[in-house]
Each structure stands twice: as C-alpha cells, then as structure tokens.
Chain A
C-alpha cells in the first residue's frame, strides 16, 4: 500500500503561490477559505449575497496581489478577514458614513430579553435579525462568531478599541435574543 501524501498546509500553499506564482496552490487556498470569508461578508452586508460575493472576490484578488506582505505572524484566515473587513468598510463608506463605534457604546445594553428563548431559529430569521443590528454590532458579531476571531483580533481587524468590541457583542446578542424571541412568539 502506498501511504497517502499529507495535504499541504496553508503555509506550504502560500509559499508555493508567492515564490512560483503557483495558481493551483492559490486555487486550493481559495477553496479552503471561501466559505467562511463569504459567510462573514454576507453577515456584514445584511444578507446581500451578490455584494458579499463581489467583496469576497475582491478580497481574494487583493490577497493574491499582496501575498508577499503576509508574514506568517497570524493565521492566513485572520489576514484574509482583515482584507475583507477593509473591503466592506470601503464599500460602505462609498454609500454612507460607516459607524463602527456607536455613540451609545459606553452604555450597557438595555434591551428587554424575554424569558424562554426558542431552542432553534432558522437561517432566514437570523439573517433578518442580524440586518437590524447597527454596523458596529454586525461587524463585531461577524468577526467574533463567523470569522472565529478573539475579541483582541476582532478589535485589531476592525480598528476599534477592545472594550468597544466587547460592548458591541453584548449589545448585539441582547438585541438578537429579544428580536428572535419576539419573532418566535408571534
């Protein structure tokens, strides 16, 4: 029996892509990370799947161009999310002023949280509830849950203070709990 060759790591693929311009290696990197990057952007763009995929494509094209700048100090996925957040912020600024640090962020969440939250929700309900969050709250949730970043990594990627990220996450979760509980009761 011939032993199966181990799958190349992200680091192997990155080195191949940037030293030999190996497109097959970059193709594999895109396949590995497309799902999470697109999911994060779908949440950021309030469920606009077309825009999210355009921004995801822009993210990967920029990553290919800037691959030499990747220093292996963070996970490749963390670096990709940083590019994705920047792409989303640039797009959002074209349309309106993006507000990641809300004025009321210093105050604790004061949203009523009904008892007896439903045990499950469907994806569409969650997507609609997420769309009702502020830009900052949505970005914090996307970073911490969909991109699986720590609060510190999320703060760095979004360019906002750590305390603000924590407050935004708490407030977003309180809003989601309230909105989805009401939805279930209706």
Chain B
C-alpha cells in the first residue's frame, strides 16, 4: 500500500518487520503432501461426462435398435393419441427413466 507518512516510525517498524522473509523450513513440502491427489480431481471432472455420455449412448441405442413397434417416436405418437401402455410407450418410459437416473446421480455427486 502507499504509506501516508513515510517518516512515521511505526510505519517504518511495520515495513521493516513485513519485509523480513520467513524461511520455508519444510512448509511447502507439508502443503504439497496435504493436497488431494491429482487423479481424484481429474476423475471428478470426467465423471459428469461419463455419466451423461453413457446415458446418451443408451438412449441412442434404444432409439435405433428397438423393433419398429417399440421405437421411441412411435411411443411419443402412442402417448399423443392416448393408445394406452403400448410396448413403444414402455420403451420411451425406460429411456426417460434412464436419463432421469443419470441426472439424479449427477445431482447427488454435486
């Protein structure tokens, strides 16, 4: 900071005291030993991507590989026209449930 009274003895004492450095004396080593492992930080960053990615892949597979009668779009159409619980509606429900579980896991992680 800028000192208002550079000739003030108290300011001089404080400046002198503050300018005396403290020897490290193993402090840095203790800090580095106390840091959480880097691996944990990295896996924490990857976790949301893994969960969302695998959920998305599952939904995509369900959409592309399901028999015609259980296709997702068919499920939406069945729901829209009030056809009751058809296989397609069940498939759609399962996909939504998978996405919701993925979201819940992420929320619990946070």
Cα distance A167–B8 in the bound complex, in angstroms: 17
Q: Which residues of chain B come closer than 8 Å to A144, judged between CB atoms?
A: 1
Cα distance A60–B31 in the bound complex, in angstroms: 7
Whether, in the assembled complex, B46 has its beta carbon less than 8 Å from a beta carbon of chain A, the answer is no
Whether, in the assembled complex, B83 has its beta carbon less than 8 Å from a beta carbon of chain A, the answer is no
Comparing B16-24, B52-60, B63-71, B91-99, the segment that makes contact with chain A is B16-24
Q: Which residues of chain A come closer than 8 Å to B27, judged between CB atoms?
A: 30, 34, 38, 53, 56-57
Q: Which residues of chain B come closer than 8 Å to A117, judged between CB atoms?
A: 9-10
Cα distance A45–B49 in the bound complex, in angstroms: 44
Q: In the complex, what residue of chain B is closest to A38 when comparing beta carbons?
A: B22
A173 and B22 within 8 A (CB): no
Whether, in the assembled complex, B34 has its beta carbon less than 8 Å from a beta carbon of chain A, the answer is yes
Q: Which residues of chain B come closer than 8 Å to A36, judged between CB atoms?
A: 18
Chain A interface residue count, CB cutoff 8 Å, equals 38
Q: Which residues of chain B come closer than 8 Å to A26, judged between CB atoms?
A: 32, 35
Q: In the complex, what residue of chain B is closest to A117 when comparing beta carbons?
A: B9
Cα distance A19–B71 in the bound complex, in angstroms: 42
Among B22, B24, B31, point to the contact of A61 (Cβ < 8 A): B31
Whether, in the assembled complex, A91 has its beta carbon less than 8 Å from a beta carbon of chain B, the answer is no
CB within 8 Å of B: which of A142-171?
144-146, 148-151, 154
CB within 8 Å of B: which of A38-63?
38-39, 53, 56-57, 60-61
Whether, in the assembled complex, A176 has its beta carbon less than 8 Å from a beta carbon of chain B, the answer is yes
In the complex with contacts A21-B42, A146-B18, A173-B11 CB distance below 8 A: yes
In the complex with contacts A35-B21, A145-B14, A21-B38 CB distance below 8 A: yes
B24 and A173 within 8 A (CB): no
Q: In the complex, what residue of chain A is closest to B14 when comparing beta carbons?
A: A145
A177 and B9 within 8 A (CB): yes
Among B1, B10, B28, point to the contact of A30 (Cβ < 8 A): B28
In the complex with contacts A151-B1, A173-B8, A23-B13 CB distance below 8 A: no
Quote the shortest CB–CB distance from B5 to chain A (angstroms): 9
Q: Which residues of chain A come closer than 8 Å to B24, judged between CB atoms?
A: 31, 34-35
Residues of B within 8 A of A (CB): 1-2, 8-11, 13-18, 20-22, 24, 27-28, 30-32, 34-36, 38, 41-42
